[in-house]
Amino acid sequence: MTEHILTRRAPLGASTWNAETWTFDVVLSTGAPVERFDARGSYDELLAVSGASLPPVLPLLDSHARDSVDAKLGQVDNLQVIGGKLTGRATLSRHNPKSQRIAAELSDGQTFGVSIGYIVSKWAERKNQDSGRREKVAVAFDLIEASLVIIPADRHAGIRSMTTETQPDPAPESNNPAVAERTAVNQPTVTDRAAVNMEIRSIARVASLDQTWIDQQIDAGATVESARTAAFEVMRNRTAPASEIQTASVGTDYSDPEFRARAIGEALFTRVAPSHQPSEAARQFIGLTIPEIARDCLRVRGIQTTGLQHGRLIERALQTTSDFPLILADTTGRTLRQAYESAPAGVRRLARQTTAKDFRTKHRLQFSTAPTLEKVNEHGEFKSGAMAEAKESYAVETFGRIVGFSRQAMVNDDLGAFADITRRMGQAAAAFENSFLANLVIANPTMSDTKALFHADHGNLAASGAAIDVTTLSAARLAMRTQKGLLGELIAVTPKYLLVGADRETEAEKVVTTITPNVSEDVNPFSSKLEIVVDPRITGAWYVVADPAEIDGLEYAYLEGAAGPQITSEVGFDVDGVRFRVRLDFGGGFVDWRGWHKNPGA
């Protein structure tokens, strides 16, 4: 049975268009109810956004059109759940004429609706205690795509339009009757009393009106139009939630939630790393404690904070705003990235970095050098030549851990302890990568020719182990200089690095140290010729390695658009605080043996 792809709309993130990078932020879902129908009648569908399976990248389509490459407008990455909202960052393609038009309209201040397509893998059914309506909650679902649509949803009331797509070539949402039925534009005339009552309940949910109001309208025999007018009147007379009346503009507008999160997150990071030079935007928030930041987030949202103690401030900021979790996530990401980038490179320094588009096995082809030129005979006949090739492979996999920042630690403003944990996670991510690559070297994996990486037939293994000295280094260099390609041609690999364990570090330093000899016999030919790389995981053996920019050898890859550890945050329900998931999509392998030479050591 083919699973149906469901769609629903969400508001475009206001004031986040960046004309230089062609990016903007989107709220893909808030989990708001959407009316759907099945054999049992009408029900409300809700998305448990925490149950979303978040891919690294989603395609950004034009109105859910999936039958043409031209319909792909770009992609959405940085998917995360913050404050009960599923958010992401959209990047438009610069090569698609449709994307170019959209970019021009966004630069002019226009906006678009955002819709998502998803497949539900697990449902939970329940009954709403207030309205008595049947509800189905999508507790686990896979995101398939995101789309820009012409008719935007009402971001103030949180209206979601929907279609249930059963054909591979769906019509645009703006032409779908189900969409028109759920929008305030071009509302159909409803005459059946049961249908009118159903529509009144829908209006009440959109306007956040209770069951008493619904009963009053039904008992009075209200029409759809009169109920809508009454709902608008109630909404006009009551105090509008601050989240509904907030406006923001691109640039240095501190009312923009994304801009404020980056500025305050940077200011909070300055407390962790005092040497960091904050930007102008962050300077006004320097010195704020975590409870003070929570109070500020509530104040900006128009939520009264008078008399609230630190514990209640933290709790309300986590539950009612998305700014506060965003700020903590920004600080976490900065701290982790700084620790990750400053960690010792180790074996990773000897490898080449690439990217992988997905998690499927990544194949790397090796090519021989071009055929040797031959003299053309007197008849002008050119001889054909061929290039040999071989193939190695490896795959990117996902690794990660979850760390938490408890409400108690936030109340105590214990940023130091949290920063220490985050810093250690960054260092651990770098250490994991180094350990992964070092273990590949130690394991001496089997290559595509069924022989071990370091093998006599590969010409990269010393006949017997020996200490590091001029003689053994000369032998290693000679072996690398005389390496042969796939067709037996000389390729002359140049040694650049000397990889040793901590047990041979001093021995290696003595051999490559610059000295001023009194006689020619004392000249050290390797003086300053090799750079020493030390990895404590390497013991006994030592290696001479070529520059990875010169020749293939050890290689590692990150998933495209996710280089290094990635941070995802979520306000915990079962955990009193915020949880941060550190995810690393990483893999590596040897794609050629000619750039490495091993001596087992003595």
Segment 481-540, tens digit of pLDDT: 998 877 777 887 899 999 999 999 999 988 887 554 444 455 567 777 889 999 999 999
Mean pLDDT score of the chain: 76
The strand pair at 566-571 and 577-590 is best described as antiparallel
Average pLDDT over residues 66-81: 84
Check: CB of residue 492 under 8 Å from CB of residue 485: no
Check: CB of residue 15 under 8 Å from CB of residue 248: yes
- Taking Cα atoms as reference points, which of 562, 526, 560, 499 lies closest to residue 351? 499
In this prediction the pTM is 0.49
Q: Could you identify the residue written with the tokens 């000679």? A: 478
What is the rounded distance in angstroms from the CA atom of residue 222 to the CA atom of residue 214? Answer: 10
Element (H, E) at 436: helix 415-443
Give me the helices (H) in 238-362, please. Answer: 242-245, 257-272, 280-283, 290-300, 310-320, 323-342
Per-residue pLDDT band for 555 (boundaries 50, 70, 90) equals very high
357 versus 386: which is more confidently predicted? 357
pLDDT tens for 409-462 read 777 766 676 677 778 888 888 889 999 999 999 999 998 888 999 999 999 999
- Taking Cα atoms as reference points, which of 183, 207, 218, 410 lies closest to residue 295? 410
Q: What is the end-to-end Cα distance of the chain in Å, rounded?
A: 64
- Taking Cα atoms as reference points, which of 91, 85, 68 lies closest to residue 18? 91
User: What single-letter DSSP state applies at residue 12?
Assistant: B
AA identity, residue 541: A
The CA-based angle 443-448-453, given to 5 degrees, is: 35
Radius of gyration of the chain (CA): 31
